């Protein structure tokens, strides 16, 4: 398979522990544990002021915000109702200092009025614990040393509860608490053991899913979902050293990481997305330590982030079309003599922020922020109206200019228009079974083939390639049954009732066997194996080819003779007829050669119409009349929206007496469904897309970046009485493991295709 190329930095495996925690960052969510050794003497302040002046000079317009010191530090207040019918009420919280109330709550309040609104105050103190109190006079204290990742009021069984996500620094567990909002009764927390925490953040998606990200002491990013009262591991991967804090925007599925060595990274939180990160900010003179997002419950679809560095007395603010540095001035009274001297010169003092928190005013018009200073003080400030409006309403034409030349990322929620335009053409199904993961790491699993056992359908097998060294077979429960170390086999297909040549002593009918053939890149050959009635594979031999870099293949059987189409990465195809000697020695005879313009891989043959369909990965689908060896392929289906390259796996499936060609649309993790016109098999009509999404109850992830696939209409019994669809999964997560194959019931696939066909008829 050809992986897509992106202008991104792909993760490298690094395992270095980042710095230890500070007092402030145990106070409020998405903040990393850290420390600092920055001096606060006069020379350090002068150096910092010089650094700021350099930043100011680089700006077309500089903004300086005065800070207000918060005497009691940062606290959190949650609001709930006890008696009203709040079955439709969304969770909301208010930051008492930043004056933040969720937009969902404001929208609900326009339609409802409550006379029983109560408040819960939450305070987390370093080395002591979590204090909770509400306006009904109830109090509760949870002793310990915690980092707070998320606190909100949620709805459950017509009651409201406080959901609290924390990291317990004493036990190294992530803990999720459920607290009765009225009585403050604390139920036993659900826990997840970690290897420490350098940064932790959490959020609740619009679908009500609690998402948690923790970067542990080994430099591994662990992504969880709290599902049905338990931790569900979604994926984990090496992220490297230097991550100081993180923040999640659930609406845009975006994760921000503050990296003290590199700057600010942006990642996709969709677990089926490519493991790549984009560096959206870098300045070699500043070490970024704190990052935050405006709560996704406050402004739907708006992606606003902020980050800070102790090397600059200010904050960077980012929206999709604007990045702005804003200076921060500490005008509070201080006893430091150097500070008094700076004030005497009518110059405001600097701070060294390591933490930042964003919030929105109750009216939804002004953005406020809270930052800390390395001394432990906490400050708040409100952005100017014009800047708030520019960030909130995407006023790209304002006088505010982007201050980072490296900022070139556009919010995917607004630039990915093709997905929304074709959303009505996409049907989602869930996998029923997944196979055991392959032995080899990286891009290893590639192509499956279904062998239907004519003696016992429930004992049928999935034969799949591990292209780093083996041909595997799995039962219908996904368990690995056999692994043949035949070499770097890439694609595989099966053939039934293949003739074995008779000997002179044979008086009976010609013996027939089932075979599997795989393209073997170890020696540019076709590897042939026999499949007995139990599904056991026995290697028969190899057929040499003249291809330079063998890649994909498919086969069909006619008159007891197997015919194999094999291709290489240059686009060249070769057709071989396979003969099997009485001693089971295999031979191949080259009968045809032709070429496509660029790299092909998948192919499938419809013996009813004598048509082979060939996939050219970056261009589309070709058709070949196989009735003679002299015909040339014709290009019949170009890759165009909603289908995205690469087109790799191809298979044929029958629904309601109609034939459909299924092609992997690798670029958007989907499958294109084409109606094949039986009377004219060279005409394909695109019906729409099918996606395979996660079944969280069964703990089977969805499917992404599929290479090969296969499908059968055969009744295999059990859940597969209406057939079986098998696909390769390029990213096997929930939890993260080596690649594998996913099995989907034919009934689910039929239902999806019927929906696409019905939608097509309605549009016409």
The answer to whether 262 and 289 have CB atoms below 8 angstroms apart is: no
CA neighbours closer than 13 Å in the CB half-sphere of residue 65: 27
Could you identify the residue written with the tokens 């799949």? 464
How do the domains of the chain map onto residue ranges?
426-763
Region 24-36 average pLDDT: 34
Q: Is the pLDDT of residue 34 over 60?
A: no
On the question of pLDDT at 724 being above 70, the answer is: yes
φ, ψ of residue 752 in degrees (nearest 5): -65, -45
Tokens 């070769």 belong to which residue? 574
pLDDT category of residue 64 using cuts at 50, 70 and 90: confident
User: Is the pLDDT assigned to residue 634 strictly greater than 70?
Assistant: yes
End-to-end Cα separation, the chain, in angstroms: 36
Instruction: Give the model's pLDDT for residue 678.
Output: 86
Identify the burial level of 335 via C-beta atoms within 10 angstroms of its C-beta, where 0-12 means exposed, 13-18 middle and 19 or more buried: exposed
The pLDDT of residue 8 is above 60: no
231/246 Cα distance (integer angstroms): 19
Q: Is 730 helix (H, G, I), strand (E, B) or coil?
A: coil
Residues 207-233 pLDDT 10s: 788 999 999 999 999 999 999 889 999
CB-based contact 489:472 (threshold 8 Å): no
Confidence of residue 84 (pLDDT cuts 50, 70, 90): very low
Per-residue confidence (pLDDT) for residue 6, from 0 to 100: 33
pLDDT bucket at 363, cuts 50 / 70 / 90? confident
Does position 467 have pLDDT exceeding 90, yes or no? Answer: yes
Mean pLDDT, all residues of the chain: 83
Contacts of 47 (CB under 8 A, 6+ apart): none
Distance of CA 79 to the CA centre of its chain: 33
Could you tell me what percent of the chain has a pLDDT over 90? 64
Q: Is the peptide bond before 646 cis (omega within 30 degrees of 0)?
A: yes
CA atoms within 13 A on the CB side of 374: 20
The model's pTM: 0.78
User: Taking 80 as the threshold, does the pLDDT of residue 340 lie above it?
Assistant: no
Whole-angstrom distance, CA of residue 532 vs CA of residue 168: 56
Q: Residues near 66 by Cβ (< 8 Å), separated by ≥ 6?
A: 329, 331, 348, 381
Residues in Cβ contact with 755 at an 8 Å cutoff, skipping those fewer than 6 apart:
427
Contact between 343 and 352 under an 8 Å Cβ cutoff? The reply is no
Q: Which tokens belong to 551?
A: 């890649």
d(CA 79, CA 664): 48
In the chain, count H helices and then E strands: 7, 51
Whether 551 has a pLDDT exceeding 70, the answer reads: yes
pLDDT at 543: 97
Query: In the chain, what's the furthest Cα-to-Cα distance?
Result: 113
Query: Where does the pLDDT of residue 285 fall: very low under 50, low under 70, confident under 90, or very high at 90 and above?
Result: very high
Per-residue pLDDT tens digits for 430-457: 999 999 999 999 999 999 999 999 999 9
d(CA 649, CA 617) in angstroms, rounded, equals 9
The pair phi, psi for residue 132, each rounded to 5°, is: -125, 140
Look at 58-62, 155-159, 586-590 and tell me which has the smallest mean pLDDT.
58-62
Q: What is the CATH number of domain 426-763?
A: 2.120.10.30
């Amino acid at each position: 398979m050809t992986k897509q190329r992106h202008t991104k930095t792909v993760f490298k495996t690094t395992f270095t522990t980042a710095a230890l925690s500070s007092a402030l960052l145990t106070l409020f969510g998405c903040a990393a544990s850290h420390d600092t050794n920055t001096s606060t003497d006069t020379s350090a302040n002068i150096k910092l002021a010089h650094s700021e002046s350099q930043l100011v000079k680089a700006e077309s317009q500089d903004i300086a915000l005065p800070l207000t010191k918060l005497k009691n530090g940062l606290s959190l207040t949650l609001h709930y109702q006890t008696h009203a019918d709040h079955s439709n009420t969304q969770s909301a919280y208010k930051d008492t200092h930043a004056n933040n109330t969720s937009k969902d709550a404001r929208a609900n309040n326009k339609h409802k009025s409550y006379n029983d609104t109560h408040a819960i105050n939450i305070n987390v103190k370093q080395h002591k614990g979590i204090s909770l109190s509400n306006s009904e006079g109830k109090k509760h204290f949870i002793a310990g040393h915690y980092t707070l990742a998320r606190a909100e009021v949620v709805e459950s069984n017509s009651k409201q509860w406080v959901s609290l996500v924390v990291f317990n620094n004493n036990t190294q567990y992530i803990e999720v608490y459920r607290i009765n909002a009225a009585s403050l009764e604390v139920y036993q927390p659900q826990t997840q053991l970690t290897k420490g925490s350098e940064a932790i953040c959490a959020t609740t998606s619009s679908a009500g899913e609690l998402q948690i990200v923790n970067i542990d002491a080994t430099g591994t990013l662990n992504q969880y979902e709290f599902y049905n009262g338990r931790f569900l591991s979604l994926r984990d991967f090496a992220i490297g050293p230097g991550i100081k804090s993180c923040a999640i925007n659930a609406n845009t599925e975006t994760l921000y990481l503050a990296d003290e060595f590199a700057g600010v990274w942006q990642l996709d939180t969709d677990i089926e997305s490519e493991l790549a990160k984009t560096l959206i900010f870098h300045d070699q003179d500043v070490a970024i330590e704190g990052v935050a997002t405006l709560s996704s419950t406050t402004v739907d679809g708006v992606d606003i982030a902020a980050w800070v560095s102790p090397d600059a007395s200010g904050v960077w603010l980012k929206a999709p079309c604007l990045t702005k540095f804003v200076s921060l001035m500490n005008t509070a009274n201080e006893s430091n003599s150097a500070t008094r001297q700076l004030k005497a010169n009518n110059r405001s003092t600097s701070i060294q922020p390591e933490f930042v928190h964003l919030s929105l005013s109750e009216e939804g018009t002004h953005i406020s922020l809270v930052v800390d200073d390395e001394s432990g003080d906490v400050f708040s400030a409100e952005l100017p109206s014009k800047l708030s409006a520019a960030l909130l309403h995407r006023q790209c034409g304002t006088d505010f200019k982007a201050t980072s030349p490296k900022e070139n990322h556009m919010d995917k929620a607004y630039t990915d228009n093709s997905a929304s335009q074709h959303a009505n053409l996409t049907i989602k199904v869930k996998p029923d079974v997944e196979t055991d993961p392959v032995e080899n790491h990286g891009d290893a699993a590639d192509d499956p083939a279904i062998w239907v056992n004519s003696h016992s359908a429930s004992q049928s097998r999935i034969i799949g390639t591990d292209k780093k060294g083996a041909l595997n077979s799995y039962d219908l429960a996904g368990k690995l049954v056999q692994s043949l170390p035949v070499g770097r086999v890439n694609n595989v297909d099966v053939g039934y009732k293949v003739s074995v040549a008779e000997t002179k002593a044979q008086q009976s009918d010609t013996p027939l066997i089932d075979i599997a053939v795989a393209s073997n890149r170890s020696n540019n050959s076709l590897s042939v194996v026999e499949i007995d009635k139990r599904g056991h594979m026995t290697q028969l031999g190899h057929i040499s080819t003249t291809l330079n870099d063998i890649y994909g293949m498919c086969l069909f059987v006619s008159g007891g003779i197997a015919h194999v189409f094999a291709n290489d990465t240059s686009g060249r195809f070769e057709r071989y007829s396979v003969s099997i000697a009485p001693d089971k020695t295999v031979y191949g005879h080259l009968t045809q050669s032709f070429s496509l313009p660029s790299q092909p891989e998948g192919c499938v043959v419809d013996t009813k119409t004598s048509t082979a369909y060939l996939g050219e990965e970056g261009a589309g689908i070709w058709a070949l009349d196989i009735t003679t060896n002299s015909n040339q392929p014709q290009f019949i289906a170009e890759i165009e929206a909603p289908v995205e390259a690469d087109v790799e796996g191809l298979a044929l499936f029958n629904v309601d007496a109609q034939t459909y060609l299924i092609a992997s649309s690798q670029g958007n993790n989907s499958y294109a469904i084409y109606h094949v016109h039986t009377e004219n098999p060279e005409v394909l009509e695109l019906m729409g897309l099918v996606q395979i999404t996660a079944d969280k109850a069964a703990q089977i992830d969805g499917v992404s970046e599929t290479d090969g696939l296969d499908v059968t209409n055969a009744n295999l019994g059990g859940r597969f009485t209406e057939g079986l669809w098998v696909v390769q999964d390029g990213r096997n997560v929930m939890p993260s493991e080596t690649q594998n194959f996913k099995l989907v019931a034919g009934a689910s696939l039929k239902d999806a295709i019927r929906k696409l066909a019905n939608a097509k008829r309605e549009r016409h």
